[in-house]
Structure formats: structure tokens, C-alpha cells
């Protein structure tokens, strides 16, 4: 087969990169009888989703290595912390996803090709929250 005859459709390219950190929290805004009002912890997984209309360099949306500062932020600022003690909001997965999107946009996006589409925060294998970035 002549692979040069395969048409390349137009569209956007999207990548995702998953990161992890361990942290505890409680949600004091919940009633005392709700289990999440008590201190507990999660092995959080955070996924960033980045898109671009064209590819850079050898064929990347952005080099996965360029996302290293995001992992450093998670390790240095959130890992093995009580999130309700350091964040200026009640640390639900939804708000954490929005906060991490803001950090990414402010600190990584100016230096990389592509733009952030969404941040997904997973507390457990079966539970996640996603924040979709508007109009970037």
C-alpha cells in the first residue's frame, strides 16, 4: 500500500498528561454526619488536556517534558499536605480542578505551544471532576 495516498484530514491535535500526588482534606462545609466532613486522604490523579491547531517541532502539540513545572508545583505545594489548610477555598475536586487550570494558564501556558482545554482531578478510580476552560 502507498501510505502517501492516505489523506490527512484537517482538525485540532489534543494531548493529555497524567500526574499524581497524595494529600488529605476535609470539607467542613458539610454536615458533621457526612463522611467527607472528617479528615481523609486521596491518591489524587490530575490530567491536563492541551490542544493546538498545528504541530510544533518533530510533531508535538507540546513536548510532554515542558509540562514538568506543573508536576513540580504538585510535588512542592500540594503533595502530602492538608489541602483545606493551604488552599483559599473548600478543596472539592471541582474547585481543585479549576484552581489547577488557573495555575497552568498563568505559569505554563505562556511558555508552551498549545492551549489548555481542561483539567481532570480524580480522587478514586471511580470518581472524578473536570474543569473545562472557556474561550482561550
The ranges assigned to domains in the chain are 11-132
Q: Which of 22, 40, 80, 85 is catalytic?
A: 80
Q: Is 80 a catalytic residue?
A: yes
Pairing relation of β-strands 13-25 and 81-82? parallel
pTM of the model: 0.93
Catalytic residue among 22, 36, 42, 45: 36
pLDDT of residue 107: 97
The yes-or-no answer on residue 84 being catalytic is: no
Is CATH 3.40.1000.10 correct for 11-132? no
DSSP states of 74-95: IIIIITTEEHHHHSSS---HHH
pLDDT tens, position by position, 65-91: 999 999 999 999 999 999 999 999 999
36 in catalytic set: yes
Amino acid at each position: 500500500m502507498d501510505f502517501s495516498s492516505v489523506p490527512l484530514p484537517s482538525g485540532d491535535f489534543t494531548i493529555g498528561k497524567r500526574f499524581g500526588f497524595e494529600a488529605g482534606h476535609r470539607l467542613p462545609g458539610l454536615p458533621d454526619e457526612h463522611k467527607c466532613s472528617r479528615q481523609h486522604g486521596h491518591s489524587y490523579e490530575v490530567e491536563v488536556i492541551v490542544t493546538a491547531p498545528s504541530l510544533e517541532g518533530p510533531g508535538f502539540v507540546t513536548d510532554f517534558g515542558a509540562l514538568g513545572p506543573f508536576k513540580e508545583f504538585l510535588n512542592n505545594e500540594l503533595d502530602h499536605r492538608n489541602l483545606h489548610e493551604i488552599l483559599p477555598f473548600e478543596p472539592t475536586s471541582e474547585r481543585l480542578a479549576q484552581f489547577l487550570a488557573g495555575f497552568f494558564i498563568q505559569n505554563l501556558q505562556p511558555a508552551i505551544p498549545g492551549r489548555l482545554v481542561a483539567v481532570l482531578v480524580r480522587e478514586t478510580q471511580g470518581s472524578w471532576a473536570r474543569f473545562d476552560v472557556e474561550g482561550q
